[in-house]
Amino acid sequence: MYTRAMLKAKSGLLLISALVVIAGLFGIFGPGLEQGGAKPPDPIVDPARVDFGWQDTTAKRRVGFFNPVRQSATALNAEEAAQLETLGYLEGYEPPSAASGVLIHDSERALPGYNLYVSAHAPAAHLMNMSGQVVHRWERTYGEICPGGTRDGPGQNHWRRAKLLDNGDLLVVLDYHALVRLDRDSVPIWTLCGGYHHDVTWDSEGRIFALRTAPASTQDGRPTASALDDLLEQISPTGKVLSSTSLLASLARSPFSHLVSQVPGRDKLHTNAIAVLEGPGVERSSHFSAGQILLSFRNLDMLAVLSLESEELVWATTGPWQAQHEPVLLESGRLLLFDNLGWGEASRIVEYDPDTKSLGWSYPKAPSPSFFSPVCGSQQRLSNGNTLIVESTAGRAFEVTPNGEVVWEFRSSHRVDRNGVALVALMGNLYRVALGEVEPWLDRTR
């Protein structure tokens, strides 16, 4: 449980974080886009950087939106600081829009399917059709998932991420608290409590991959309070942990190890996404092999690929993006990612070519204050060529064509209260699910 000192520190630090967000949104720090801020030039790529892209780019620690803990919090002991440093995202950041629900639906150009999403207003996931009607809901509190848990704070009161399996089962991450597999009736099949965060995925063989935070270890294996490690765990379909790989140790053996020292605080990596490399994109790539793991290190502005066999980073790059989320390998061999802060107070979706080390397609083409999620955010390249984008802090999801036309848009009606102010609930993730992956088990449920 939090001590009184911890709660006082947490309250003040969260308030500071909220003020920073508001200041950033209104352009208090630095010139705003309305005042002549221009699109930064495309990167000039040095052909000599053939292995690791922008290797000389330094890691920049931005004023934090996620993690309110700073090195100045000297009044806390190491254990208290560690607990505060792994708090989840705030439940809301922005005032709600006037309209909610599905605002745009071009049925001829939007990809048919269902949309699975989680929202910070409740420990639940929602499956809705393209018109916005919720057709199925999963819900389970932290106390029901991890009975006897004593902590009470962000990350327990809502789900960070949910992924749907073919039979209606759901893999759920409660940020920095638990990973659970639920059946379609929200009954827990298995639960792993303690430190799981951000993302979960699986490969074609059914192995599950998840992130878990833990104290970093010294060379002789002893835990240390000086840094946090992110562990990539392999988990069986029945919930047995098969292996655990230290990402901090993998990075320490890479040519990018020097970047770690440039990140203050204990959360050096803040790994926020994992993806198994499989399919046509791997076959077209000269850098990647099937079965490797694509990772996103937010606090280093870095993408990396891990070999599970050697537990080494076999490829990594920084680039003209900052605090990125959700990188995925496309069939073309390019990487698609959500660039949260590369444009300062505007976000964008970009394609990155690892071969030419250049940017391709992007949305939008120029900075726009109307599209900005300083934390979270995701995108999904759909089978019809469109891109589904989640602007998390605005509680908004929308689908754009390759030329940037919006053909589907959803704004959340869920609200959270912070100090008497109504805010739109943070949308942890939303993604499109094919009709054939839902209707067989959904019909049985009905």
pLDDT at 246: 96
Which residues neighbour 426 within 8 Å (Cβ) at sequence distance 6 or greater? 89, 90, 91, 92, 93, 119, 120, 158, 375, 376, 392, 393, 395, 416
pLDDT at 160: 95
Closest alpha carbon to 115 in 96, 97, 135: 135
pLDDT at 71: 32
Closest alpha carbon to 356 in 295, 286, 256: 286
Q: Is residue 253 part of a domain?
A: yes
Q: Is residue 401 part of a domain?
A: yes
Count of domains forming the chain: 1
Q: What's the CATH number where 150 sits? A: 2.120.10.30
Q: Is residue 79 part of a domain?
A: yes
Q: Is residue 37 part of a domain?
A: no
pLDDT at 261: 85
pTM above 0.75, yes or no: yes
Q: Is residue 39 part of a domain?
A: no
Domain that holds residue 290: 4-32+45-445
DSSP 42: P
Q: Are 85 and 267 in contact (CB under 8 A)?
A: yes
Q: Which residue type does 183 have?
A: D
Q: Are 303 and 294 in contact (CB under 8 A)?
A: yes
Q: Are 402 and 81 in contact (CB under 8 A)?
A: no
Maximum separation of any 2 CA atoms in the chain, in Å: 61
Q: Is residue 201 part of a domain?
A: yes
Q: Is residue 38 part of a domain?
A: no
| Rounded distance between C-alpha atoms, residue 191 and residue 51, angstroms | 40
pLDDT at 20: 37
CB atoms within 10 A of CB 350: 21
Q: Are 398 and 71 in contact (CB under 8 A)?
A: no
Q: Which residues of 220-257 are buried (b: 16+ CB within 10 A; e: fewer)?
A: eeeeeeebbbbbbbbbeeeeeeeeebbbbebbeebebe
Low-confidence ranges of the chain (pLDDT < 50): 1-84
DSSP for 122-149 reads SSEEEEE-TTS-EEEEEE--HHHHSTT-
Q: Is residue 175 part of a domain?
A: yes
Residues forming beta bridges with residue 397, ordered by sequence position? 390, 410
| Rounded distance between C-alpha atoms, residue 111 and residue 350, angstroms | 21
